[in-house]
């Protein structure tokens, strides 16, 4: 335990060391640590903000999906209504068309019948005339006459 000049040497060393650390180590170290703390705080805040935004967006998205669903169902309803309306319309027009065509066909048939009747009458008349002409022109026996008349009748 001898005190000697080392005491002052060590005091000087200590003083220099403290001065160096105070001057060149402590301020930049503090600055770096402070920057890092701020960065961490900012990062945490950003993460929280992100989470909040995500939540907001999620509720928005859900709301929008809900709206879209409602819209889709109304569109579907409208389409259905329109489709049935179209079908009904088509049915009705088809019905009237059918009635029209039916009536036309009836008319045509009647016309055709009348025409045939007329033609037949004309034919009969022609036949009678021809037969009569033949009867008049030649002498015909009874049987032949009968035959002719029968023929005529079957012809009618």
Q: Can you read off the two tokens belonging to residue 9?
A: 């040497």
Is 128 near other proteins (CB under 8 A)?
no
Nearer to other proteins, 31 or 106 (CB): 31
CA-closest candidate to residue 103, choices 114, 95, 91: 95
Stretch that binds other proteins, among 21-29, 46-54, 56-64, 103-111 (CB under 8 A): 21-29
With CB under 8 A as the rule, give the number of residues binding other proteins.
31
Closest separation between CB of residue 43 and other proteins, Å?
9
CA-closest candidate to residue 69, choices 81, 80, 77: 77
Is 16 near other proteins (CB under 8 A)?
yes
Largest CA-CA distance found in the chain, in angstroms, rounded: 192
Distances (CA, A) of 40 to 11, 37, 49, 68, 124: 40, 5, 14, 41, 121
Closest separation between CB of residue 36 and other proteins, Å?
4
Distances (CA, A) of 107 to 50, 57, 62, 101, 103: 83, 73, 67, 10, 6
Is 41 near other proteins (CB under 8 A)?
no
Is 143 near other proteins (CB under 8 A)?
no
Residues 66-105 that bind other proteins (CB under 8 A): none
Closest separation between CB of residue 27 and other proteins, Å?
9
List interacting residues with other proteins (CB under 8 A): 1-11, 13-18, 20-22, 24-26, 28-30, 32-33, 35-36, 39
């Amino acid at each position: 335990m001898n005190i000697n000049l080392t005491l002052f040497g060590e005091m000087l060393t200590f003083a220099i060391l403290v001065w160096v650390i105070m001057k060149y180590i402590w301020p930049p170290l503090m600055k770096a640590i402070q920057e890092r703390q701020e960065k961490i705080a900012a990062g945490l805040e950003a993460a929280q903000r992100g989470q909040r935004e995500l939540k907001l967006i999620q509720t928005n998205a859900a709301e929008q999906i809900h709206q879209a669903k409602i819209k889709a169902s109304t569109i579907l309803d409208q389409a259905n209504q329109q489709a049935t309306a179209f079908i009904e319309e088509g049915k009705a027009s088809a019905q009237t068309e059918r009635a029209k065509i039916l009536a036309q066909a009836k008319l045509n048939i009647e016309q055709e019948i009348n025409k045939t009747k007329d033609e037949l009458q004309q034919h009969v008349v022609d036949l009678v005339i021809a037969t009569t002409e033949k009867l008049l022109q030649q002498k015909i026996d009874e049987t032949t006459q009968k035959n002719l008349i029968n023929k005529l009748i079957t012809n009618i």
